[in-house]
Amino acid sequence: MNQSAESTYSHPTESKREQRHNIHPQEGMRWLVCKNQVIDSGRGVTVVVFVHDAKLLKFDLFEHGYAHYHILTGHPDMNSGRIAMQETSLAALTNRLLFELEHNLENYLQLNFCENTRGFALDPARITAAFPELASTIAARGNF
């Protein structure tokens, strides 16, 4: 792989973020949902999970097998890079996102270097109660 192709792959450029919508499942947590297009990586829906205004997770629900997510630890040398998602339909990708939030969100909090983020008290009932709004917001912005 040549240098320019490698840098494009490693540092994609987001060309558009549209139709932004914020969901607040509980105090101190926010989910930003938007339609997104990344040059050379795909287009679809991006969901960013914030805790106390710090990014914790970013899910890129992209078409054509480019779907992936990132775990953001708050430490520049310890972020996950891309974790591939094998699901291909928007409905299946949404279900995977909901699974990660329901079953692994506490673990992702504990990987964060910020003590305030690690100590965030999740309210599982409020998280799952916000899933219908999250799923419908993703569906409204998806087009594949």
Total of domains in the chain: 1
Domain that holds residue 86: 3-141
User: pLDDT band at residue 80, thresholds of 50, 70 and 90?
Assistant: confident
* C-alpha span between 86 and 6 (Å, rounded): 23
Q: Tabulate helix, strand, coil % of the chain (nearest 5).
A: 35, 35, 30
Contact 72, 59 (CB under 8 A): no
CB proximity list for 66: less than 8 A, separation 6 or greater: 41, 42, 44, 60
User: pLDDT tens digits for 94-122?
Assistant: 999 999 999 999 999 999 999 999 999 99
Which single residue is written with the structure tokens 């240098």? Answer: 3
* C-alpha span between 93 and 95 (Å, rounded): 5
pTM score, two decimals?
A: 0.85
